[in-house]
Copies of this chain bind each other. A is one copy, B any other.
Amino acid sequence: MIKVLVVHDACLLRQALAMLLCREHDLEVNTASWSDAVTGLVSWQPRVCVLDVDAPESAAPISQLALLAEHAAERKCGLLVLAPPSRPGLLYRVSQAQAQGYVSKGEPCEALLGAIRHVAQGEQFVDTSLGWDFLQAARVPLTERELSVLSLASQGASVAEIAGDLHLTNGTVRNYLSAITRKTGARNRVDAIRISQKAGWV
């Protein structure tokens, strides 16, 4: 039996995903919200964690993913990410946590079942439909510094606040914001934030 922990913040959707998986005779399924995920992993010792990383407030899952990945690595539990299609930036940020598997939410159930069995064997798995997104994710359009500036700007920080936080001058922050606007093909700063959020970079 493969023990699978489904992590999703919406109760209804994690129950629905669990129902989909527990019809399979080789899977034993349990669920958790993101705030219970580490506890669930440590106490139940699943072989695979299926993670929905695309909550409306996607900041929470991503910041908790690194912690979860640490506990998972110690316990030989594989992480399998349910990825939304066409969000290469989110994929890039998630892949930093070294998950073993990636399945698009746009694929049918069979793709997820196949991926769970691969990850349970200790193999890596990337859904073919995410190939293009991974290619775009690999071509990160922005530098680490630009991503830091963009992240603060997207939270509503002013130029002076960003400069203070990152120990830069106002002029340097403005230069970074111009570079971000140019590289994302945006019309202005607000448009750059919109484009970056849509792709999942912030």
Contacts and interface: CB of A to CB of B under 8 A. Distances in A.
Interface of A: 9-13, 15-17, 19-20, 23, 54, 56-57, 82, 84, 87, 103-109, 111-112, 153-158, 186-195, 198
A2 B56 CA distance: 31
Nearest to A16: B16
A175 to B, nearest CB: 18
A12 B109 contact: yes
A8 to B, nearest CB: 9
**A-B residue pairs, 5 tightest by C-beta:** A156-B191, A16-B16, A10-B105, A16-B20, A16-B17
Contacts of A23: 19
Nearest to A20: B16
A12 to B, nearest CB: 5
Nearest to A193: B190
A190 B105 CA distance: 30
A57 B57 CA distance: 13
Nearest to A33: B106
A186 B105 contact: no
Contacts of A189: 190
Contact of A155 (B12, B109, B194): B194
